[in-house]
Amino acid sequence: MKRQLAVFILTSCLGLSILGCSTQEQVPLSTNSGANTPETATPTAEQPITTTPPPATPTNAPDEPGFQLTKYVIDVELNYDAHSAVVDQRITYVNNSNSELEDLLFLIEPNSYPNGFLLNAITWENDNPIQDYSLNGRELRLVLPQSLEPESTVGITLSFQLNLPNQNAPYGYTERQTNLGDWYPYLPPYIPGEGWLVREDAFLGEHLAYEMSEFEVEIKLTNPYSANGGELVLAASSIPEREGDSYQYHHSPARNFAWTVSDQYLEQETQVGAVLVKSYAFPFHPQAEAPALEETAKALSIFSELFEPYPHKALSVVEADFLDGMEYDGLVFLSHAFYDYYTGDPQSNLTIIAAHEVAHQWWYGLVGNDQAREPWLDEALSTFSEIFFYERAYPEFVDWWWENRIYFHDPQGWVDSTIYEAAGFYPYRDAVYLRGALFLSDLRNLLGEEVFIAFLRDYLAEYRYRQATGDDFFNLLSAYASEADLSALINSYFSHRSG
């Protein structure tokens, strides 16, 4: 027991650590490099926007017939040893909001780093250069020469170079791994009445939100071997077709596309129904390699049955050279610390966090949310999903899970805290993850098991591929519980809403 608690100290972003989220801690303050920011902007003369006639019946989610996703076609060549990549990216943006748009906003996380993003060219789909744009920090804003009607499309091409930062994080390189999470310019969801969903970085938690999109990514490696002579292995959000030295991926509909390369990965795979689960681990801890794959596969199987089937054909679980777990759509990272300390006992962070990250494929991947302002929507649900996992996979350790994961920390704080309100990583984790799990446990007791699960499935069905808010969650919940009962729960756990 003591040993398990000691292990907790080494881990982080998944709600376990004292170190905070390394991703956030190591992101430098966004400053505009200047070189990429034209101060004068001239409206373009051309009319580059292709307006597609709206379908007779408006649609608003990718699971509805006729819905068109924004498409990212990305060709990238990575120079592993130089820690840089040359990228051509074509975006066919579909205005799936109900508002006319006057401008487009791309978020470019790599431009948070000095010299991290060098823009070579930006053009409309007819190859005319785009002149009316500004790049400030991670925001690239371009003015449309004419408004973009709902359900209309516009094409943009970007050519750029990435220089990866040297950091132990989901974006960056270390001696044994290069990670590309949130690596390409993308358009966040557009919220009618509010605008582009952009949130400031907060040094803890996550701050990005994603619209479901289609990804076609072609990756080439400048050299298939690293300078050390090791063969480079790629892991990504989906499984590639190989054509010579080119890896071609299709991932859709999905929130994002992440990938990672190392000259040290050991690969293993297993099948869960129609889903291929692949694991990539460093060769330092043979006792943990197979269990990382097995626990991930087990969680995928349990949640697919309990919630609804996992939506992709593959899931990759990758050992991270940073002290965190991190979720992407179709790919999850698990900290090397979880592997290092794994002794074969499922009372471990490797098992807990494998379940947690896999749960994010539903609570983040399928149902999106504003991770900065309402992180509880994905984090409380993913933390609570750990208990669903233990109840089915290791029922003998359910009490251990409650004691170690929740009660030991005596969690305080409001479940609906934002990433900006917390006094540090621990208070944030305690409020959002741990009291979030307590709230969901009380809700489960209130509704009863059958109704609780029916509610979660209904929530998934209602908001699958969309962005959900706390209001959406509670509006739907009001059909499952009396106002008086909910009111008491809300008052004990939530500060921003009255019960």
Residue 208: closest CA among 105, 322, 59? 105
Q: Which is nearer to Zn ion, 253 or 325 (CB)?
A: 325
Distance between CA atoms of 106 and 213, rounded to whole angstroms? 14
Burial class of 471 by CB neighbour count within 10 A (0 to 12, 13 to 18, 19+): exposed
Q: Which is nearer to Zn ion, 178 or 382 (CB)?
A: 382
CB of 231 to Zn ion, least distance (A): 32
- Whose tokens are 């998934």? That residue is 460
Q: Which is nearer to Zn ion, 101 or 292 (CB)?
A: 292
Q: Which is nearer to Zn ion, 351 or 382 (CB)?
A: 382
Identity of the amino acid at 285: H
Distance between CA atoms of 256 and 379, rounded to whole angstroms? 18
Identity of the amino acid at 119: L
Tell me how far the alpha carbon of residue 50 is from its chain's centroid.
31
Q: Are 42 and 131 in contact (CB under 8 A)?
A: yes
- Whose tokens are 């905070």? That residue is 20
Q: Which is nearer to Zn ion, 370 or 379 (CB)?
A: 379
Q: Which is nearer to Zn ion, 177 or 382 (CB)?
A: 382
Per-residue CA distances from 279 to 63, 233, 234, 382 (Å): 29, 12, 11, 21
Q: Which is nearer to Zn ion, 201 or 379 (CB)?
A: 379
Q: Which is nearer to Zn ion, 374 or 379 (CB)?
A: 379
CB of 302 to Zn ion, least distance (A): 17
Residues in touch with Zn ion (CB under 5 A):
379, 382
CB of 360 to Zn ion, least distance (A): 6
Q: Which is nearer to Zn ion, 153 or 382 (CB)?
A: 382
- Whose tokens are 């929530």? That residue is 459
Q: Which is nearer to Zn ion, 138 or 360 (CB)?
A: 360
Per-residue CA distances from 353 to 193, 220, 294, 335, 401 (Å): 37, 31, 13, 9, 12
- Whose tokens are 């990382």? That residue is 292
Q: Which is nearer to Zn ion, 24 or 382 (CB)?
A: 382
- At residue 191, φ and ψ (nearest 5 deg) are -100, 115
Distance between CA atoms of 390 and 401, rounded to whole angstroms? 8
CB of 285 to Zn ion, least distance (A): 23
Q: What is the DSSP letter of 405?
A: I
Distance between CA atoms of 34 and 38, rounded to whole angstroms? 8
Distance between CA atoms of 449 and 469, rounded to whole angstroms? 23
Rg of the chain, C-alpha, whole Å: 22
CB of 88 to Zn ion, least distance (A): 33
CB of 4 to Zn ion, least distance (A): 19
Q: How many CA atoms lie within 13 A of 398 on its CB side?
A: 12
Identity of the amino acid at 100: E
Q: Are 351 and 449 in contact (CB under 8 A)?
A: no
CB of 364 to Zn ion, least distance (A): 8
CB of 32 to Zn ion, least distance (A): 31
CB of 146 to Zn ion, least distance (A): 41
CB of 206 to Zn ion, least distance (A): 8
Q: What is the DSSP letter of 117?
A: E
Phi/psi class of residue 115: alpha, beta or left (left: φ > 0; alpha: ψ in -120 to 50)?
left
CB of 382 to Zn ion, least distance (A): 5
